[in-house]
Chain A
Amino acid sequence: AQKVTQAQTEISVVEKEDVTLDCVYETRDTTYYLFWYKQPPSGELVFLIRRNSFDEQNEISGRYSWNFQKSTSSFNFTITASQVVDSAVYFCALSMNYGGSQGNLIFGKGTKLSVKP
């Protein structure tokens, strides 16, 4: 069975601190996709990144970076120099692609990040 675990329920940091959100996944498939989404207080899910199982390169986008390690089944997300606008719930998700079902996302329970000024 597929599963995504985000062990950190809530994290609180002070602005400008670095913060890492953990994500551990389980799947027996060799082809899969990993995602991070941001859910601000408005509720809409904002896509941040997609990674396929064959691409273990880490990625950096501005203050955001992602560390994908198949050996530990982890896909961690780091925000450098956090800002108040980063306050949100962050979801890690897993997807396989069977017959057009790539949007069938298995979500973790989310990590609520609070960045205080």
Chain B
Amino acid sequence: SQTIHQWPATLVQPVGSPLSLECTVEGTSNPNLYWYRQAAGRGLQLLFYSVGIGQISSEVPQNLSASRPQDRQFILSSKKLLLSDSGFYLCAWTPGQGITEAFFGQGTRLTVV
């Protein structure tokens, strides 16, 4: 069966520090991968998605970037964190083909101080 792993679960980082969040999917090949952010008191917003290695689409211009170095690995990064980057980050995947729902990881709660 397919599983999605996301780490770390929680993170406290100072303003101006770098960020790297990692997400991996097991049990499937060629998944579509997604990064969402849930800011406090707000809904979920799609940040990036990827349909293949090295292919990244950005939905919202921001202080963040994403990379997909391997088929089942998706990384969210920042060179210098801002206070506004605080939030709950969720990674998700869908099969590369066919219509289905998105499956989400456990999320990373990021607090920028």
Contact = CB atoms under 8 A, between A and B. Distances in A.
Interface of A: 33, 35, 37, 42-47, 50, 52, 91, 97, 99-110
Interface residues of B, number: 29
9 contacts: A43-B107, A44-B104, A44-B105, A45-B90, A50-B101, A100-B32, A102-B32, A103-B102, A104-B49
A97 B94 CA distance: 12
Given A42-B106, A100-B51, A47 B101 contact: yes
Contacts of B32: 100-103
Nearest to A97: B99
Interface SS of B by simple majority: strand
Contacts, number: 67
A107 B100 CA distance: 16
B46 interface: yes
Nearest to B108: A43
Q: Closest 8 CB pairs between A and B?
A: A103-B94, A45-B104, A103-B102, A109-B43, A107-B44, A43-B107, A107-B43, A100-B51
Contact of B100 (A46, A50, A109, A110): A50
Contact of A104 (B34, B90, B97): B34
A105 B105 contact: no
Q: Which of B45, B94, B97 has the most CB of A within 10 A?
A: B94
Contacts of A101: 32, 49, 51, 57
Interface of B: 32, 34, 36, 42-46, 49, 51, 57, 59, 88, 90, 92-94, 96-97, 99-107, 109
A104 B49 CA distance: 8
Contacts of A37: 104
A112 B43 CA distance: 12
Contacts of A46: 104
Contacts of A91: 43-44
A99 B57 CA distance: 12
A44 B107 contact: yes
Nearest to B42: A109
Q: Which of A50, A91, A101, A110 has the most CB of B within 10 A?
A: A101
